[in-house]
Amino acid sequence: MSKKLIFIILLIMFSNKIYSQNTIFDLSYESIEGEKISLRTYKGKYLLIVNVASYCGFTYQYNSLERLYNTYKDKLVILAFPCNQFGRQEPGNSSEILEFCSNNYNITFPISKKINVKGESQHAIYKWLTSKEFNNKFSSSVKWNFQKYLIDPNGNLIDFFYSTTSPTSKKIINYIQ
């Protein structure tokens, strides 16, 4: 075997190890304030993970997300991941995004720093969410802002919902209740 081939095999093995978790709780993100947060913090609760944007036709869903969070915060955490990959609808920096969410929607659930949800620089959480290889459920692709992924309290992917599904729809609430 050539040295180049061995290097490629080792590189693939190492990079796959990063994402070969059984649950999403093995991953972390950086909060919008710059703090590293382990998803283990949320173990035992449902997670609704949403890629968000301040200037999208679905931005009004922040109201429903906040209402859902306040109604079920004893057993649900909503994690918002700002992303500028769809129509450049999240152009702001962290402080601008935080100000927008606070001033316009009084958001109290966790928000991450801006990330990529697809492509070569896809965040590890979204790599896990969108790949059957990592989540052991199914593969998907993020189609637009406000696509939602629901995780059970044990860290297993339940399902995903396109932007057109309201955060307070029966499809989502039935899982949480």
pLDDT in tens, 111-148: 999 999 999 999 999 999 999 999 999 999 999 999 99
- Residue 13 above 80 pLDDT? no
* 56 in active site: yes
The pTM for the full model equals 0.87
CATH tag, 22-176: 3.40.30.10
* Active-site entry in 24, 56, 150, 157: 56
d(CA 70, CA 73): 5
Pick from 75, 65, 79: nearest CA to 110: 79
Please, which residues have CB within 8 angstroms of residue 147's CB and are 6 or more apart in sequence?
A: 50, 51, 160, 161, 162, 163
Confidence of residue 23 (pLDDT cuts 50, 70, 90): confident
Provide the mean pLDDT of the chain: 92
Angle between helices 61-72 and 94-105 in degrees, nearest 10:
80
Please give the pLDDT value at position 72: 98
